[in-house]
Structure 1
């Protein structure tokens, strides 16, 4: 995984900088209407991973994860299985764009965004 320097998401985003991994994933299968976004948010918070998740009109779920390399890698592994009633048929996993971090809502470590 490629390391990028991004703003820390804890507290004031401009407090300090640290090396964190930014990954963007798109999950396909039966992933809408099964609690996938809520599950993703809960799992990310448990692992100390920041970012966002949203449904896409094509039926997939898209997420951006930022945090320590091991935690982000574990989040990607968990997304391959998903919550109990999901069926993951495939996942695209690629480096995330730093400008996508701007989509995280102020005051939140992990945001659930509107469908695109």
Structure 2
């Protein structure tokens, strides 16, 4: 199963992407995380439902220094879900 999240608040410049990569790897997820020019962080993760639920819960607080105001789920189109399913790790990608 694939899920996309948009995390808002003070989430850039606080190690949020690095922290997300570590948490996702610990949970056995694959996918990516990136900063967005609008100040949010975007996460696309693929894995078991329980692990995705855990990541979503942890995104709501983030690393020390972050101040998360919202974690919004967004649809994942079938092509993105297929690509995420083929991923072999969780990475940071360039800002969009």
RMSD: 1.9
Matched, 1:45 2:25: yes
Larger Rg: 1
Which protein has the bigger helix share?
2
Residue ranges of structure 1 left out of the alignment (5+ in a row): 1-20
Deviation at 1:111, TM superposition (A): 1.5
Which protein has the bigger strand share?
1
1:54 to 26, 34, 38: 34
User: When the two structures are aligned, how many residues end up with a matched partner?
Assistant: 95
Matched, 1:72 2:57: no
Higher relative CO (Cα under 8 Å, sequence separation at least 6) belongs to 2
What is aligned with 1:33? 13
Residue ranges of structure 2 left out of the alignment (5+ in a row): none
Partners of 2:4 and 2:42 within 8 A in 1? yes
CA distance in 1, matches of 2:10, 2:54: 21
What is aligned with 1:115? 95
TM-score between both structures, scaled by the size of structure 1: 0.75
Instruction: Give the direction of change, closer, same or farther, for the CA distance of 1:70–1:95 in structure 2 (3 Å limit).
Output: farther
Deviation at 1:103, TM superposition (A): 7.1
TM-score between both structures, scaled by the size of structure 2: 0.89
CA distance in 2, matches of 1:108, 1:35: 23
